[in-house]
Amino acid sequence: MIRIGAFLVGLFFAGWLLVSFLVGAVAFVTEPPAKTVEHEFHLNPKHVSFSFDGPFGKYDQAQLQRGFQVFKEVCSACHSLKFVAFRDLKGIGYNEAEIKAIAKQWAIKTPDVDPKTGEMSTRDPIPADYFPKPFANNVAAAAANNNAIPPDLSLMTKARHHGSAYVYSLLTGFQAQPAELLKEFPDAKTPEGLHYNPYFPNLNLAMAPPLTADGQVTYGDGTKATVDQMSHDVAAFLTWTAEPKLENRRRAGLATIFFLLIATGLAYMAYQNIWADKKKAA
């Protein structure tokens, strides 16, 4: 009886799921979802290539340093890198003295406690410190950015599909709303204080275009700092902040594949050697 009851209960739920599926399918065919402005005008990230693309790709340290300079001089005014310490910059080619100088000259001081009075104070960052946040708290961040809190960028390229290309596309994608959009969706005009960008999911974001003109940053290596170049460089740098061990991981993966190929070959030869006489006898 218990088995029969369990079978009937399972049959009931299976039938209910089938009916629900059929009802949903019929509703989708007879009343398809209405087109939305995001569905019609949201674009996938641009196709852009980086030195670290592919299984054998490697970071270009000169590009990473240029990207760090763009972050330092432009992005750090609003965005944080809370999972990156100054000493981590050794991974993009800076030596100990340079890292100390970068930390000491950082525009934002590090919160600290006065050991004598116990009161809150600030001090110059040191290499062991993580990059300071540009705002004291989320309320201050929202108040300075049209009520939107700028996200931390440490892991941004891992948090977005096609992360590196997404960052590049977003930075180079600010534009005026197309006339076609306003003609088809009159109520979809970008609200005051927001900025139209077809690479952002809902097309409008609070961040104003951060890279507005060529030469906004002066590169130390003489590279021409066009908007496209700066966007490309900072996207590469943010890929490194999210995956600083990318090259090591790929090397380990290739070594593992090579080892498995050899082990497979040895196992096959051992199999042939052990079972050769048995096959002849059979």
Check whether 230 is labelled as a binding-site residue: no
CB 68 within 8 A of CB 60: no
Of how many residues is the chain composed?
282
Closest-CA residue to 235 (of 159, 157, 151)? 157
C-alpha 141: how far from chain center: 21
161 is in an annotated binding site: no
Q: One-letter amino acid identity for 149?
A: I
**79 labelled binding-site residue:** yes
Of all residues in the chain, what percent are helix, strand and coil, respectively (each to 5)? 50, 5, 45
Sign for the CA dihedral angle at 161, 163, 168, 171 comes to: positive
Is 78 marked within a binding site? yes
Ramachandran quadrant class, 153 (left: phi over 0; alpha: psi -120 to 50; beta: rest) = alpha
Give Cα 179 distance to the centre of its chain.
31
| Binding site per annotation, positions for heme c | 75, 78-79, 207
| Binding site per annotation, positions | 75, 78-79, 207
